[in-house]
Amino acid sequence: MRFCSSRTSGLEHPLISSQCLRRNEEKLGSVNFLEMAHEIARYHHEHWRRLGYPSGRRGKAIPLAVRIVAIADVCRALVSVRVRKPTFPHEQCLVMIREGAGTQIALEFVKVVLRIERQFADVSDRIRENDPTLSMCSVHFLDENLA
């Protein structure tokens, strides 16, 4: 059974993804993880100090789960092959993350990544070796180190 279309376009995908999760929640009932998933889907392109989309939220108006996923997503994107970019070496990733501190990403989360940069490097190396089981390891490391 499909709850929504898998086709999205441009700037609409956060809203479409959010709507899909809401429809699933209507079918399955309200569950905390679905609410968090909804927030992540809807706001994952919002930026800490500048306007993102679709809602133009900034700073602490962006839900905490979304801010955590943002740094994890940046870390993963920098070390992963993408259609329009190569992977970046670890030291260059750290420079790029530092440069994004306080703009796209909350400074507090950048500090965590820099504090655990050796673990970040190890995970990055494994991701580069195409181990698909490690694609979200950054979230695990951030979760442990924010406590």
Count of positions (residues) in the chain? 147
Which residue segment(s) compose the domain that 8 sits in?
Answer: 1-43
Task: Check residue 61 and give its pLDDT.
Answer: 92
- Same domain for 37 and 70? no
The reply to whether the predicted model has a pTM over 0.75 is: no
- Same domain for 89 and 135? yes
- Same domain for 34 and 75? no
Reported as a single tens digit per residue, the pLDDT across 62-109 is 999 999 988 888 888 888 777 788 888 888 989 999 988 888 889 998
